[in-house]
Structure 1
Amino acid sequence: MPRASATLPEYWDSYKPHREEGEQPAPSVDAFEWTQYQGHGPGAEFLGSPRTALELGSAEGKEAVYLARTGVEVTAVDFSAVQVARARRWWEGTSRLTFVHAEACDYLARTDAMYDAVFSIWGAVWFTDPNALIPLILERINPGGTLAFSQAEPIEDHYGAQAMYGNGLAGRKLTLLRWSYAPEWWADLLKRTGFVDIDARVLPAPDPADVGTLMVRASAPR
């Protein structure tokens, strides 16, 4: 079996790399996006109304910043030291926002913090063994709190841990492993773990011929 997180941090260090002439500017933060299509799908309301939130796989930190600016106390965790350092530079001085460099399972296993919401947008939930990650998430959500995540819809009949070379087919071998499952599989795992009020579905793209988005939301029992 693959270990919980089988992607090298080095891959994420190069995610959305800097421009050659210098560091790219901070992105604008004017919306909370779950899908790969701007303005398509739900916004921050998909999380409910949390007072505290944890993002797993925060990368640029846009959604974490968006929530913090609305008054939510946000902790944003990412596997890449480069991504975390860049986010800290970009969003220095943002109130109620903390960036943490850690692997998702490691962070959840060692922290004592509890959250009203845990979320992942094409982030750690896609790139971490869910059988290891989901039980750890449940332990850190307050009663009645929300788990929500999104990722690309799975390719039909091609489910499970899927490996690829993260930097293409030339150069150093950087293994990228993603766990892709149908909505029904996610619903079953969440139910067996102890989550309730589970909603797992594929949100079609604006053009139905394009790749849709897996959207999952569940609640911790009260």
Structure 2
Amino acid sequence: MSSTLAESWERYAATSKPRRATNGCGESTWLNWTQYADHGPDETVLGPVAGRKVLELGSGSGDNLAHLVTLGASGVGIDVAPSREAVARKRWGGLPGVEFRTAEAVEFLEGATEEFDVVLSIFGAVWFTAPDTLMPLVRGRISLGGVLVFSHLPPGSQELQPGKTGMRHDHTPDEWRSLLVGHGFSDVRVSLIDPPEAKAVGTMLVHARAA
């Protein structure tokens, strides 16, 4: 793992605020695909998760992955910043079926032997890793018919992701469809989630299935 990469994300992690104890509906765990609180679709984007093995690329404080585990999934979350693993373990380490590791996405996938039914990335590694490098590795570790779902800002957005390290891999919906099909995925669906208020930036959500 590049020490520079880890250090950059450590600096970003130091500025991150912890998630609220409950969301607008009073729930203590939930999944949030967008950069806005209480906004956008929920975990149903992934289909049924009970009994499925989940990998999150860029798991941060572990809140999204922990929510899926409370619904019956088992999960592994990786993040390049060591402090994120510590925070996630402190908050969710007692939850059966969840594991957090410090790892860069490409290095983790290259060394992994386990297979996953669901891979997700929320403003995470998919946005910051060359797809021609990352996607073959994801496809190699995802079960046939398994799902890959990720979100990030729409291409051309003027809003910058705080703490971004290096170039973002922004692609149009058509470009993502072509890239994913070319790397062994099918049923590629790309949607743009409108922001909760005018003049704010929306969110791109991409769903694909391992062919």
The two structures share one fold, judged by TM-score above 0.5:
yes
Shift of 1:100: 1.1
Shift of 1:185: 0.6
Counting aligned pairs with the same residue, the percent is 37
1:194 aligned partner: 184
Higher helix share: 2
1:67 aligned partner: 68
1:169-208 superposed matches below 5 A: 175-208=165-198
RMSD: 2.7
Moved more, 96-105 or 199-208: 199-208
Give the alignment's TM-score, normalised by structure 2: 0.86
Q: Deviations over 1:91-146 (max 9, x none)?
A: 22111000011110111111111011000001111111111001110111111110
Which structure is larger by alpha-carbon Rg, 1 or 2? Answer: 1
1:13 aligns with 2:17: no
Give the alignment's TM-score, normalised by structure 1: 0.82
Distance 1:72 1:180 in 2: 30
Distance 2:4 2:133 in 1: 15
CA contact (8 A) 1:165 1:176 kept: no
Shift of 1:14: 2.4
CA contact (8 A) 2:66 2:98 kept: yes
1:50-65 superposed matches below 5 A: 50=49, 51-65=52-66
Which residue identity is paired with 1:146?
V
1:42 aligned partner: 41
Q: Deviations over 1:159-191 (max 9, x none)?
A: xxxx99948xxxxxxx53311111111111001
1:38-187 superposed matches below 5 A: 38-50=37-49, 51-155=52-156, 166=163, 175-187=165-177
List alignment gaps of at least 5 residues for structure 1: 168-174
Distance 1:6 1:14, change over 3 A: closer
Distance 2:146 2:107 in 1: 21
Distance 2:184 2:19 in 1: 39
Distance 1:155 1:25 in 2: 28
Q: Deviations over 1:179-220 (max 9, x none)?
A: 111111111100111101100132221234321101000001
Shift of 1:61: 0.8
3-state SS of paired residue (1:126): helix
1:217 aligns with 2:207: yes
3-state SS of paired residue (1:179): coil
Distance 1:61 1:37 in 2: 17
